[in-house]
Structure 1
Amino acid sequence: MPKAGIIYNEVKPLACRIATELQDKLTASGWEVCMTAAAGGILGYSRPDRPVCHTPIDSLVPPGFDSEMSFAVVLGGDGTVLAAFRQVAPCGIPLLTVNTGHMGFLTETFVNQLPQALEMAIAGEYEIEERAMLNVGLYRDDVLLWEALCLNEMVIHREPLTSMCHFEVAVGHHSPVDIAADGVIISTPTGSTAYSLSAGGPVVTPGVPVLQLVPICPHSLASRSLVFADTEPVTIFPASNDRLIMVVDGNGGCYVLPDDRVRVKRSRYSARFMRLQSPEFFKILREKLGWGLPHIAKPTSVELP
């Protein structure tokens, strides 16, 4: 019996209704269906009174989701997609992402197109696009206190965000550099169109094997975005006496104390997107962010009254 999964945003009535209808349809067609809420991929936050909030990456996999699953359907917006990949990436399950939100930058299709998309998925008429993910870990005295799987970005900043602080950042075997800024972002190519873009970082096409280091509101004109090979791990040393905050994919995070270390590296897991058509990244940039739209031509001559 073939096996499929459904991951949905449980706070959206539309996503809940479509998830139930989809489960009934697949079951009637002879599929084994496992269904779970995207909340299972929410990381949560550590607290000052509970600094250790360690949820191992592999433990987020929902019951019944495994490598035998042909695919899973995700119903929600971009946040739901990010949470879903934290849940299924360790199993290598490809996701058909269906937009029930607003922006839907990471989604493949819309709810009104789901019947046709499902037929294509069942028939195997799709491509798999793999996107790089990150392993993010917080260490204290070489003990792992917190970790997360990340598709977009890791951000570390002072509390509150408007206060500037110093970071020592070591990329691979290179000497550490000092960055004075409100915070720093380590981004994947997928995350280059998210927080990194808002902070002035470049857009990177998904297939390029690089990461980005983007200072947030840097205090020096010399502190610009840096793009480097994703084979290079990154270590961030807080260079101040203040407590910092780390956030992963805008979803959850932990406190970072002065003696802590944050280590970021490309994960051995990847996000596997089901594409019903050949991926066209520039088209998505144009439709979602307005990139590359033609300018309105100015008139060549003006007739005076």
Structure 2
Amino acid sequence: MTSPFRHVALIGKYQASGARCGERDSVMEGIASFLESRGCKVYVEQPRGDDEPAQALPTGDRYEALTVEQIGQQCDLGLVVGGDGTMLGIGRQLAAFGIPLIGINRGRLGFITDIPLDNFQATLIPMLAGEYEEDHRSLMHAQVMRDGAVVFDALAMNDVVVNRGATSGMVELRVSVGKHFVANQRADGLIIASPTGSTAYALSAGGPLLHPAVPGWVLVPIAPHTLSNRPVLLPDADEIVIELVGGRDASANFDMQSLASLAIGDRVVVRRSDFRVRFLHPRGWSYFDTLRKKLHWNEGGS
């Protein structure tokens, strides 16, 4: 059966065991051949600069390499092979194009790359034929403001984190939500997490799990000085402002993949992005199935 997805971008890190530059990745080659057998034209991501992760598939003359922008413009599906970090990076870049993404897990947990590598063919056959569940995930648009000017601008799918320096004490942060002052907080840091990011750093810091359909964010302090300072669930329509009032060597992290150093008086402004990431899952997929599997709930039960 011919796939309704005619132009598919295969994206992922090159992980051939013991491979040298130019050697083939048998897993990625196998996935590419499978896609071709389903009637798909396969493309790969064009390798980027030295400061970016190496991409998965040496193309030779067989697969055309496209930039991320070209993938967004020319492809109707992105198949991402790797861990959640790989999906976070490409998801932010492709969100503006509205291209749907399917994740094959080649990492560890795999909350958003949720198809097992050892069963990808059986899972993908009905999906490529149009049998799937669609899941939209919100993005955060964050800016670092200094003296009224934007000095750093980034999107985040998981979280925006303001952290103390590695060798310094607590930071003092002034937090506002919408037009309302919330509190001055002293802590090791503060996390603003989306529903997608509620299973990441925010969970480790004691935050709640947030279903992806909830239009909200969770504000989670990291080791707060005041024990009554607890996680707060917020509507994602509100702008959140975190001002650095005190502390040395503080920084702001965006999905733990980009970093901005902060000076006293800097303001980290977080708003809901205009873009969302489109994920496709196997028919019958459930967020709760993912939680049970990845967090090992009910182990030993019936």
Q: Which category describes the TM-score, using the shorter chain as reference length?
A: 0.7 to 0.9
CA distance in 1, matches of 2:82, 2:182: 40
Q: Percent identity?
A: 32
Question: Contact between 2:168 and 2:247, CA under 8 Å: does it hold in 1?
Answer: no
Question: Contact between 2:34 and 2:121, CA under 8 Å: does it hold in 1?
Answer: no
In structure 2, the gaps of 5 or more residues are: 54-66
* 2:216 counterpart (203, 210, 218): 210
In structure 2, give the amino acid aligned to 1:20.
Answer: E
- Residue 269 of structure 1 corresponds to 275
- How do 1:89-168 and structure 2 match up within 5 A? 89-160=95-166, 163-168=169-174
CA distance in 2, matches of 1:169, 1:126: 41
- TM-score normalised to structure 1 length: 0.83
- Residue 2 of structure 1 corresponds to 6
Q: Deviations over 1:120-169 (max 9, x none)?
A: 23211112100111111112223222222211111111111762121001
- Residue 68 of structure 2 corresponds to 62
In structure 1, the gaps of 5 or more residues are: 45-60, 297-305
CA distance in 1, matches of 2:280, 2:95: 13
CA distance in 2, matches of 1:153, 1:43: 20
- Residue 71 of structure 1 corresponds to 77
- Structure 1 residue 85 corresponds to structure 2 residue 91: yes
Name the count of aligned residue pairs.
279
Question: Contact between 1:38 and 1:80, CA under 8 Å: does it hold in 2?
Answer: no
* 2:41 counterpart (26, 32, 36): 32
- Residue 257 of structure 2 corresponds to 251
- How do 1:192-231 and structure 2 match up within 5 A? 192-231=198-237
In structure 2, relative to structure 1, the CA distance for the partners of 1:101 and 1:12 (3 Å cut) is farther
In structure 2, relative to structure 1, the CA distance for the partners of 1:62 and 1:16 (3 Å cut) is farther
Question: Contact between 1:67 and 1:92, CA under 8 Å: does it hold in 2?
Answer: no
- Residue 238 of structure 2 corresponds to 232
In structure 2, relative to structure 1, the CA distance for the partners of 1:178 and 1:99 (3 Å cut) is same
CA distance in 1, matches of 2:288, 2:126: 24
Superposed CA RMSD in Å reads 2.7
SS of the counterpart of 1:177? strand
Q: Deviations over 1:100-120 (max 9, x none)?
A: 112112222112222223322
In structure 2, relative to structure 1, the CA distance for the partners of 1:29 and 1:109 (3 Å cut) is closer
In structure 2, relative to structure 1, the CA distance for the partners of 1:91 and 1:217 (3 Å cut) is same
CA distance in 2, matches of 1:236, 1:38: 36
CA distance in 1, matches of 2:46, 2:86: 9
- Residue 190 of structure 1 corresponds to 196
SS of the counterpart of 1:21? helix
CA distance in 2, matches of 1:113, 1:79: 21
In structure 1, give the amino acid aligned to 2:176.
Answer: A
CA distance in 2, matches of 1:205, 1:236: 24
In structure 2, relative to structure 1, the CA distance for the partners of 1:241 and 1:166 (3 Å cut) is closer
Quote the offset at 1:176 in angstroms.
4.1
Quote the offset at 1:26 in angstroms.
3.4
Quote the offset at 1:16 in angstroms.
3.7
- TM-score normalised to structure 2 length: 0.83
Quote the offset at 1:277 in angstroms.
2.3
Q: Deviations over 1:1-49 (max 9, x none)?
A: 9211111112454994322333344346553332127978x889xxxxx
In structure 2, relative to structure 1, the CA distance for the partners of 1:187 and 1:62 (3 Å cut) is same
In structure 1, give the amino acid aligned to 2:239.
Answer: P
